[in-house]
Amino acid sequence: MRAFTYQRASSAAEAAAAVARAPGAKFIAGGTNLLDLMKLEIETPVHLVDVNGLGLDKIEGTPDGGLRIGALARNTDLASDMRVRRDYAVLSRALLAGASAQLRNKATTAGNLLQRTRCPYFYDTNQACNKRRPGSGCSAVGGFSRQHAIIGASAACIATFPSDMAVAMRLLDASVETVRPDGSTRVIPIADFHHLPGNTPHIENALVAGELITAVTLPRPLGGTHLYRKVRDRTSYAFALVSVAAVIQPDGRGRVALGGVAHKPWRVEAAEAALPQGAAAVSARLLAGAAPTHENEFKITLAKRTLAAVLAEAKKG
């Protein structure tokens, strides 16, 4: 690990300004992703700004009947919050499908949204990787690509985004609240938060340098049946090959989103219009344009079957 300086911030605005001031500085929250990347020298921040003391860990109701989740709320606390379990159960289920209990105790809401891909070539500094070093090439294209994206990828990067939580948040139309280094705030719809790789796979989200996530808000509850099914190589403690988040209403209408298949949580609102026609019709629209490699074309079948299983389960109520 390279040497770095460290400070504890005492306000959100101070934290944002401190990261913007020092080129290569980073926020640290739970540290469960960032510290691993620093040990491998994939991330080499010269300065760390600790945001754990900012009181951003509250989960509270909003005036319009939704929920505001502090950026530092731990994954364990969010998954076990009674309002989340009752009104946003898909989020609770997605969180509990992720990582391990120990990791969830440390991992935060913002850190989870900003975790980096688990592409093995990204983690190997001997390999070319456009995400790690822009312009160096992509070892996964033509390489071992079993875990990689089947949709929304580019010639520059075929990585997937590994978060379970974010798939549920995308389904629920969450918004990301931030403060920028000049003290101004903004709200980013989660649909616009994560980027597809295109020619700039190193630019993974809509944040500017020094922009601090302060909270994630959820709109009013949707009702319906909430399901999250994650398919992985081991029963637990593994990232998704494919996951399906769904909120299905008694009349068969609803929402679906996929994880493990793209560089961002994959939701196609137009596909949801086909829900009354059944899983095959939804899958056809959701996965239109999919371009798997020969090693991961199984994900298409897996996504279709997992979606069908989730919709069948939803029918039981």
With CB under 5 to 8 Å by kind, the binding choice for 117 among ligand FAD, ligand SF4, none is: ligand SF4
Which of ligand FAD, ligand SF4, none does 164 bind, CB closer than 5 to 8 A by kind?
ligand FAD
Compute the distance between CA of residue 58 and CA of residue 277 in angstroms, rounded to an integer.
41
The answer to the question of residue 77 lying near ligand FAD (CB under 6 A) is no
Binders of ligand SF4 among residues 267 to 296 (CB under 6 A) are none
Pick from 77, 87, 91, 108: which binds ligand FAD (CB under 6 A)?
A: 108
> How does 141-152 read in b/e, with b if 16+ C-beta sit within 10 Å?
bebebebbbbbb
Instruction: Return the C-alpha torsion angle 238, 301, 262, 111, nearest 10.
Output: -30
CA pair distance 223, 42, nearest whole angstrom: 42
Interacting residue with ligand SF4 among 117, 178, 243, 296 (CB under 6 A): 117
Regarding 91 and contact with ligand FAD (CB under 6 A), the answer is no
Instruction: Indicate whether 28 belongs to the interface with ligand FAD (CB under 6 A).
Output: yes
Binds ligand FAD (CB under 6 A): choice among 140, 150, 213, 302: 213
Q: Does 119 bind ligand SF4 (CB under 6 A)?
A: yes
Candidate list 17, 26, 256, 311; residue touching ligand FAD; CB under 6 A: 26
Decide if residue 18 touches ligand SF4 (CB under 6 A): no
How far is residue 15's CA from residue 206's CA, in Å, rounded to a whole number? 18
Q: Tell me the window of 71-79, 134-142, 174-182, 275-283 that interacts with ligand SF4 (CB under 6 A).
A: 134-142
The smaller minimum CB distance to ligand FAD, of residues 36 and 273, is found at 36
In the chain, count H helices and then E strands: 11, 11
Are 126 and 154 a contacting pair, CB within 8 Å? no
**Contact pattern from residue 211 through residue 250 relative to ligand SF4, giving x for each residue in contact according to CB under 6 A and a dash for the rest:** ----------------------------------------
Sorted by sequence, the CB contacts under 8 Å of residue 286 that are 6+ apart come out as 256, 258, 266, 268, 271, 303, 307
Q: Residue for token digits 């991992």? A: 107
E-strand stretches of the chain: 5-8, 26-28, 47-50, 59-61, 67-70, 175-179, 185-189, 212-218, 225-231, 242-248, 254-259
Answer for which of 9, 32, 139, 224 binds ligand FAD (CB under 6 A) is: 32
93, 131, 194, 255: residue in contact with ligand SF4 (rule CB under 6 A): 131
* Contact pick of 18, 90, 96, 107 for ligand FAD (by CB under 6 A): 107
Tokens of 25: 């500085």
- What residues from 116 to 135 belong to the interface with ligand FAD (CB under 6 A)? none
| Residue from the set 159, 169, 242, 261 that interacts with ligand SF4 by CB under 6 A | 159
Angle among Cα 167, 119, 244 to the nearest 5 degrees reads 25
Shortest distance in whole angstroms from residue 17 CB to ligand FAD: 13
Per-residue DSSP letters for 262-303? SSS-B--HHHHTTGGG-HHHHHHHHTTT----TTTTHHHHHH
> Residues in the site for ligand FAD, rule: CB under 6 A?
26-34, 36, 51, 71, 98-99, 103, 106-108, 110-112, 114-115, 162-165, 212-213, 239
> Residues in the site for ligand SF4, rule: CB under 6 A?
117, 119, 121-122, 129-131, 138-140, 157-159, 201
